[in-house]
Amino acid sequence: METKKHKRKKNHVVIVTSDAVDAGVRQFHFSHLVFQILVVVLCVAIGCVAGRIIYEEQYKAQIWAAANEKIAEVQAVNDRLQEQLLAAETEKQGLESEIAELNNQISILSDTVNQKTDLENELRGQLEQQSTPTMFPLTGSASIEEITEGEPTCIFNGTEGTTVVATAKGVVTEIAEDADYGSRVLVDHGNGYVTIYRNSGECMVKAGDTVAQGTTLFIIGSSNTRLGYQIQLDGEYMNPMQMMEISG
């Protein structure tokens, strides 16, 4: 007959103690199966904790890597912005310099234009004055007889050796015979004024001549001391005494 062999029952004892002097000792008895289960559970727990720690470290590493990458991108963008800002500031300074230079040139041009305008006005005034018959028609003294009725006329009795002159600049438009004086000279001054000189002496200009203020028209001799002088404005006769500047 076969005899039945009894398996020995295995138990595990876990002793828990402390390094204190008066510490007691505690014993925990576990069966083999329970002990294996506890070992497995402990290993799994340790594995989970270790895995958790490893995962968290890897996750943190990924987070830090992503953060560092983002920081690098932001820094790169910031560097580019700083470069653009510096370039813009440099361009701004250049534009401000150009604007200041342009303003200076504008100021100079404005002063030049104002000076030119003043000069043109002055020259225009001088030309207008030279074209306005205000000058005395004789270079010397003379007695004056004024005729105001009909065609206003000034009759001058000059002295020998003086000259009859154009009272303003203009163009000689007519030289003709005159029944009362011998010769008649008309000067158109181009601004509505026409002056008429009547004398029996030899005429010193011819039709078409351009004369300046003071140009000699007749030379007064012993036989032609009498001068008739008239002014027209826009075809109407006016009193010459209202225009002449008489000194002395």
pLDDT of residue 218: 97
Chain-centroid distance of CA 28 in Å reads 101
Q: SS3 for 185?
A: strand
Task: Please report, for residues 10, 35, 71, 216, the alpha-carbon distance to residue 18 in angstroms, rounded to integers and kept in the order given.
Answer: 26, 22, 51, 147
Q: Single out the residue of 225, 172, 218 nearest to residue 195, CA to CA.
A: 172
Measured between alpha carbons, how far is 221 from 200 in angstroms, rounded to an integer?
Answer: 10
Query: Which residue type sits at 1?
Result: M
Q: Name the residue type at position 51.
A: G
Note down pLDDT in tens along the chain; length 248 residues.
455 555 555 666 666 666 666 666 666 666 777 777 888 888 888 888 888 888 888 888 888 888 898 999 999 999 999 999 999 999 999 999 999 999 999 999 888 888 888 888 777 766 677 789 999 999 998 999 999 888 999 999 999 999 999 999 999 999 999 999 999 999 999 999 999 999 999 999 999 999 999 999 999 999 999 999 999 999 999 999 988 875 43
Q: Which domains does the chain have, with CATH numbers?
A: 143-242 (2.70.70.10)
Nearest Cα residue to 134 out of 216, 247, 240, 237: 240
3's enclosing H/E stretch is none
How far is it between the farthest Cα atoms of the chain?
199
**Of 169, 166, 165, 167, nearest in space to 131 by CA:** 169
Distances (CA, A) of 130 to 59, 104, 214: 102, 38, 10
| DSSP collapsed to 3 states, 140-183 | CCCEEEEECCCCCEEEEECCCCCEEECCCCEEEEEEEEECCCEE
226: closest CA among 155, 160, 138? Answer: 155
Which of 18-27's residues contact partners 24+ apart within 8 Å by CB, and which partners?
A: none
Check residue 18 and give its pLDDT: 64
Tell me the three state secondary structure of residue 23. Answer: coil
CA atoms within 13 A on the CB side of 205: 26
Q: Can you tell me which residue has the tokens 């008309």? A: 186
